[in-house]
Amino acid sequence: MNFLRNTFAVLVGLAVAGILISLGVRLNSSWITYQEYAPFKHWKSLLQSMEHKPYFFVALLISSGIGATVGGVVTAILVKYAKVAYAILIGFILLFIAMLDIIIFPYHPTFYKISIFLTFFPCAWMGGKITEIIYERKKKKLRRLQNKKR
């Protein structure tokens, strides 16, 4: 049962991170010039048109960091044990997807290629730690309340 719960948690965390990253890319309406929502269909042409506009990649890094953090929090909330480890797994999976993106579409600037290593893993770890700290504080608070009742 834990396997299904953990798998579900990872998939939900990835979905949340993917949605936040997609929303970050669509933040500026001048970046997305096509009408239908088909991010993978037009990704190559979008990257080619943004190759000399670094602010797009800065926004992509920021939204990736926020997405990895929130995805890590969601995953850590849903799993029962090893909350930080599963949040880190989200970071590794997102990093793997970003590396595939860089390999398939070589239109990313160098600072982006380097910065993704410093974005996905630490932000996902931070999401797991945030959840772990919140849960630990709740446990301490419950213990104090139980000790006061005695």
**Domain definitions of the chain by residue range:** 2-149
CB 58 within 8 A of CB 111: no
pTM across the whole model: 0.84
Query: pLDDT band for position 106 (50/70/90)?
Result: confident
CB 124 within 8 A of CB 94: yes
Cα-to-chain-centroid distance, residue 116: 11
Lowest mean pLDDT among 2-6, 44-48, 109-113, 120-124: 44-48
As a whole number of angstroms, the distance between CA 146 and CA 39 comes to 52
Query: pLDDT band for position 42 (50/70/90)?
Result: low
Burial of 148 (0-12, 13-18, 19+ CB in 10 A): exposed
Question: How does the average pLDDT of the chain come out, rounded?
Answer: 86
**How far, CA to CA in Å, does 131 sit from each of 45, 79, 80?**
38, 11, 12
